[in-house]
A = this chain, B = another copy of it.
Amino acid sequence: MDDRTSVTQRAVERIKEMISSGEVGPGQRLPTERDLAARLDISRSSMREAIRSLTTLGVLEARHGAGVYVTALRPADLLETFSVLAEVSRGDTLLEVLQVRRMLEPAATALAAARATDADLVRIGALLDRIDGAPATAAETVTADLGFHQAIVASTGNATLAAVNQGLSSRTFNARVWAGHREAGFTDELREDHRRIHEALVARDPDAARAAATVHVMRVERWLAADLADRTEHPGA
């Protein structure tokens, strides 16, 4: 009766049901591919594609030689695929992504100012030093920058927020921002933004944190807008 959906798709739905019905819980192991295929009366190939699909979604995890397991189903697991957006996006979509970040990061930073533990602040401070210090490579600066923002959002205690924020950030874009600012001699402005955010967190001042985060995102946003306009006018190599 339900011939519209493909065999594989039905298998996906069935496995989802097994999870939502509690037949298998987070971290638990599923029956073998061969068993599942036999149970639904489909070929192992089709079952494998269904499992591949759910693996991509972050719902399942296949361990070679050991079985297929349900992940912890935490936000970070399920939003890993989210990063594809930031990776693939270009031009105007990147501006849209930054606009979303301008809504989230200030609120998240303000929340972090109220909630961050002392240990959080120490860790964030250490990352700030790694950004400010003269690092060996540009890659290290990018890593520290990503870690800095990630640590702040994580210190809100909201794992979903952290996962969403991470999905809106991308290493390649971040590297492009630093390269662009370095070329123009504006890296000090970026460092100053970070310092201002950190100070607000240490002072446990949500309003100041919100303002500092807004300024930072808007700086990047304005830079990107200018960069995009520049590339449109002078399409170089």
Residues on A close to B: CB < 8 A?
Answer: 8, 19-20, 45, 48-49, 52-53, 55-59, 73-75, 78-79, 81-82, 84-85, 88-89, 93, 96-97, 99-100, 103-104, 107-108, 158-161, 164
Copies of this protein in the complex: 2
Residues of B within 8 A of A55 (CB): 53
Which residue of chain B has its CB nearest to the CB of A81? B81
Q: Is the CB of B100 within 8 A of A103?
A: no
A112 to nearest B CB, angstroms?
Answer: 12
Q: Is the CB of B99 within 8 A of A103?
A: no
Residues of B within 8 A of A48 (CB): 45, 49
Residues of B within 8 A of A85 (CB): 75, 78-79, 160
Residues of B within 8 A of A104 (CB): 100, 103-104
Distance, CA A55 to CA B137, complexed state (A): 36
Residues of B within 8 A of A59 (CB): 84, 88
Q: Is the CB of A88 within 8 A of B49?
A: no
Distance, CA A36 to CA B87, complexed state (A): 23
Among A20, A73, A96: residue with most chain B CB under 10 A: A96
- Write 30 A-B pairs (CB below 8 A) sorted by A numbering: A8-B52, A19-B88, A45-B48, A53-B53, A53-B55, A57-B81, A58-B84, A73-B88, A75-B85, A75-B93, A78-B85, A78-B88, A79-B82, A79-B85, A81-B82, A85-B160, A89-B160, A93-B159, A93-B160, A96-B158, A96-B161, A97-B160, A99-B158, A99-B161, A100-B158, A100-B161, A100-B164, A103-B103, A103-B108, A103-B161
Q: Is the CB of A82 within 8 A of B82?
A: yes
Give 14 new A-B contacts, CB below 8 A, not counting A20-B88, A78-B85, A164-B164: A53-B53, A53-B56, A56-B81, A57-B81, A75-B85, A75-B96, A89-B160, A93-B159, A93-B160, A99-B158, A99-B160, A100-B104, A103-B107, A104-B104
